[in-house]
Chain A
Amino acid sequence: MKVTAIQHKYMTRAFWEERLRNIIPELRDQLISYRRSGAAPGVFRSMVLKEVGDHFRSWRVIILMVIILLTCIGSLYTALTAISDTGSAGNSDETFFFLHLFTLSDGSLPPFFVFIGFLGPLLGISLGFDAVNSEQNRGTLSRLLAQPIPRDYVINAKFVAALLVIALLFFVLSFTVIGAGLLTLGIPPTPSEFMRILSFMLLSIVYVALWLNLSVYFSVRFRQPATSALAGIAVWLFFTVFYPLIANLLIKAAAPSPYASGRSVYLFERFRFLLMQVMPNELYSQATSTLLMPSVRSLGPLTMEQMEGAIPGPLPLGQSLLLVWPQLTGLISLTIFCFILSYLAFMRREIRSR
């Protein structure tokens, strides 16, 4: 009995190992066939580089970058003055001194991560709003498509190029902040702090990519660049200004009386929390604040049972990531969803030369 059981187990294990061993070559074969299918090698790469070059040469991107750089330097300065003012307050965040650079402010300017949350959508919209329609209006798109390249190379290259520019900008910004912190504070960031800053950067890139994809979709959808830019800004304004107003109205209407039971108050708080979760900027700010402040332990409403016996203390990075994992999942899948939208719209579009 025992021998047969072991043999059986061994057989299944070998089977699974075989499957696992085969899965990687299979994927590699598929990838190679996919890359070789359309055009000569290196075409996509040169398209992306061309797009990146166009971005860096356009005044629009340069102005935006200068604005972002200046504001970030301003908020870095306020963070540094706030750090030297407060000295060392004895809170549990004290061990994560370096992260204060991103979150602290003396009140004259918002802190770094709020700025990124505010300016990031604008950057994404401005990089993508004329991606397709301006080329179409200039007539270069039909010429481009006349070349022997797959059609999706065009939109993929535009997306990847913009993403590269954004990633470059954020890496430069974050490392500027880290460098300035090293110069002024004189202490290096701990590995966990560095990993938190890195995940904050990646999250910011994903967040800007969301708005980028949305504006690329609008640029496919609308023929006039001004219209698509306005549409992007309208969505952004809706989520930053109007949606909170509407949500507040709903919340006020649904507010329980002060004599309501604890259960209904809890459900109401849960409802309010969920209502706010619809906004991508809210998702982003929750995720960043949790990543940059290790003492944040919970985002939603809490019951007394959960609070009892809890003592303040920083969370490890893995737990912080798990805490904001719903928000991260929402942001990433929303970004991918927007990409799918713009991809589908572009691929189904009929492009005629003017």
Chain B
Amino acid sequence: MLNRKQILTRIFLPFLLVMLSGSLTVTAQSLRLYTPYPEITVPPGETIDYSIDLINNGASIATAEVTVDGIPETWSYTLRSGGWSARRISVLPGEKKTLNLKVELPYDIDKGSYTFRVLARNHAVLPITIEVSEKGTVKTEFTADQGNMQGHATSNFNYKTKLENQTGEKQLYALTSHAPRGWTVVFKPNYQQASSVEIEPGQSKDISVEIKPPYNVKAGKYTIPVMATTGSSSARLELEADISGSYGVELTTPDGRLSEKITAGRRRNLELMVRNSGSTDLNSVRMTAVKPRGWEVTFTPDTIPFIAAGESTQIRAEVKAYGKAIPGDYVINLTAQTPEINADASFRMSVRTPLLWGWLGILIILSAIGTVYWLFRKYGRR
């Protein structure tokens, strides 16, 4: 709040002066001030070059002290003429002198209309209005061309961002992120991984941000805030990663062994494990088998209704070997499939022949030996 004295000096005094000088120009109309752009609209931080003509309409040489009045304190300006910073300027009759007024707007200003005056004391007043088009930005700006990206859980998200130092000094920014657990965020200011970056005042730097989601991330939208901070200012940018679900299914056994012994013509149970390795839930996983002729494979259940992402289900497969299968290895291919994805597992079934004929052979040999024994008993002791 301005106190009473400030109100007096800032508002009433200039006003009084305007009234006063207005009355003075009426008395001595020989000097005039002219600029082609009395009112312009500029963004904050802009530097404006005015050229102001001081015109002498009178018949004698006129001298005036030229000052700028009413300009906000935070703005800076220079008034030069003919290469010098001149305070008093004389103009020949019927001629004009050009002055250069350079006004630098700070970044940190509010939107609105600002008016100041150029005075040729006792002669003329030139009011100039600067319309600031928007509220001045913060001192550091962190922006991204494309802040939203979509990809698979396994893909890398590469964002092109721009860090702009709008403060008046060189800044060393620390680059940090508040990513959820498991996410990896890497900043690469100059194509190299870094944790801080130095930017000259008014300069900007392209920083590519690489974001890698965790391997088991669920589908959905994730917001990853990244920050550039210094001791005095900070900028925050929210990057969005839209992870589309990936489908993955694996078919193994609980102990990972994919071979089993089986006797020809017999049945054998296999414990199978179907694992959802993707990031979306799977519905109705169907189990099928490619098997040699004469073999049978039945699954219980033959359709798994639901497997949540990352979870696994155990099922049982009953394999019946062909009765006339020869001993040795056979391959059966088991498949777990959904419309989106499938997984194969090749089982090596080592077929063994049943012992029935072996026992018959042993029986024949034993009977032959028994005959020999009987002969020994019968004839041997004569």
Shortest Cβ gap from A269 to chain B (Å): 14
Q: Mark B365-380, 1 if CB is under 8 A from A, else 0.
A: 1001101100111011
B358 touches A (CB below 8 Å)? yes
Excluding A38-B381, A305-B293, A333-B364, 14 further A-B contacts by CB distance (< 8 Å) are A34-B377, A305-B324, A306-B322, A306-B326, A308-B294, A310-B326, A310-B330, A311-B328, A311-B330, A319-B353, A322-B358, A323-B327, A326-B361, A336-B365
Q: Which residues of B contact A309 (CB under 8 A)?
A: 291-293, 295, 330-332
With A305-B294, A311-B329 in contact, is A332–B368 under 8 Å at CB? yes
Contacting residues of chain B (333-382) with chain A, CB-CB under 8 angstroms: 348, 352-353, 355, 357-358, 360-362, 364-365, 368-369, 371-372, 375-377, 379-382
Q: Mark A287-329, 1 if CB is under 8 A from B, else 0.
A: 0000000000110001111101111110100110011011011
- Give Cα A315 to B326, complex, Å: 11
B92 touches A (CB below 8 Å)? no
Q: Which residues of B contact A152 (CB under 8 A)?
A: 376, 379-380
- Give Cα A347 to B381, complex, Å: 11
- Give Cα A34 to B372, complex, Å: 14
A37 touches B (CB below 8 Å)? yes
- Give Cα A249 to B292, complex, Å: 37
20 pairs from A and B in contact (CB 8 Å cutoff): A152-B376, A304-B293, A305-B294, A306-B294, A306-B324, A309-B330, A310-B292, A311-B328, A312-B329, A322-B358, A325-B361, A326-B357, A328-B361, A329-B361, A329-B362, A332-B368, A333-B364, A336-B368, A337-B368, A343-B375
Contacting residues of chain A (31-77) with chain B, CB-CB under 8 angstroms: 34, 37-38
Chain A interface mostly: helix
A340 touches B382 (CB 8 A): no
B197 touches A (CB below 8 Å)? no
Q: Which residues of B contact A172 (CB under 8 A)?
A: none
- Give Cα A302 to B324, complex, Å: 10
- Give Cα A313 to B352, complex, Å: 13
For the complex, count residues of B whose C-beta is within 8 A of A: 37
B380 touches A150 (CB 8 A): yes
A329 touches B355 (CB 8 A): no
Q: Which residues of A contact B315 (CB under 8 A)?
A: none
Partner pick for A298 among B326, B360, B379, CB 8 A cutoff: B326
- Give Cα A303 to B357, complex, Å: 20
- Give Cα A150 to B364, complex, Å: 28
| Closest residue on chain B to residue A347 by CB atoms | B379
- Give Cα A337 to B352, complex, Å: 31
B326 touches A302 (CB 8 A): yes
B224 touches A (CB below 8 Å)? no
B325 touches A (CB below 8 Å)? yes
A297 touches B361 (CB 8 A): no
For the complex, count residues of A whose C-beta is within 8 A of B: 37
Q: Which residues of B contact A344 (CB under 8 A)?
A: 375, 379
Shortest Cβ gap from B106 to chain A (Å): 80
| Closest residue on chain A to residue B333 by CB atoms | A309
| Closest residue on chain A to residue B362 by CB atoms | A329
| Closest residue on chain B to residue A314 by CB atoms | B328
- Give Cα A344 to B371, complex, Å: 11
B380 touches A313 (CB 8 A): no
Q: Which residues of A contact B379 (CB under 8 A)?
A: 151-152, 343-344, 347
A129 touches B (CB below 8 Å)? no
Shortest Cβ gap from A334 to chain B (Å): 9
Shortest Cβ gap from A266 to chain B (Å): 11
Shortest Cβ gap from A47 to chain B (Å): 14
Shortest Cβ gap from A311 to chain B (Å): 5
Q: Which residues of B contact A170 (CB under 8 A)?
A: none
A236 touches B (CB below 8 Å)? no
A339 touches B (CB below 8 Å)? yes
- Give Cα A114 to B160, complex, Å: 78
| Closest residue on chain A to residue B261 by CB atoms | A316
B364 touches A329 (CB 8 A): yes
| Closest residue on chain B to residue A348 by CB atoms | B379
Lowest 5 A-B CB distances belong to which pairs?
Answer: A309-B292, A329-B361, A336-B368, A308-B292, A313-B329
| Closest residue on chain A to residue B352 by CB atoms | A319
Partner pick for B327 among A315, A337, A347, CB 8 A cutoff: A315
Q: Which residues of A contact B324 (CB under 8 A)?
A: 303, 305-306
A336 touches B372 (CB 8 A): yes
- Give Cα A138 to B47, complex, Å: 141
A339 touches B381 (CB 8 A): no
- Give Cα A152 to B358, complex, Å: 32
| Closest residue on chain A to residue B382 by CB atoms | A151
Q: Mark A147-178, 1 if CB is under 8 A from B, else 0.
A: 00011100000000000000000000000000
Q: Which residues of B contact A337 (CB under 8 A)?
A: 368
- Give Cα A287 to B310, complex, Å: 53
| Closest residue on chain B to residue A332 by CB atoms | B365
With A310-B328, A340-B372 in contact, is A323–B365 under 8 Å at CB? no
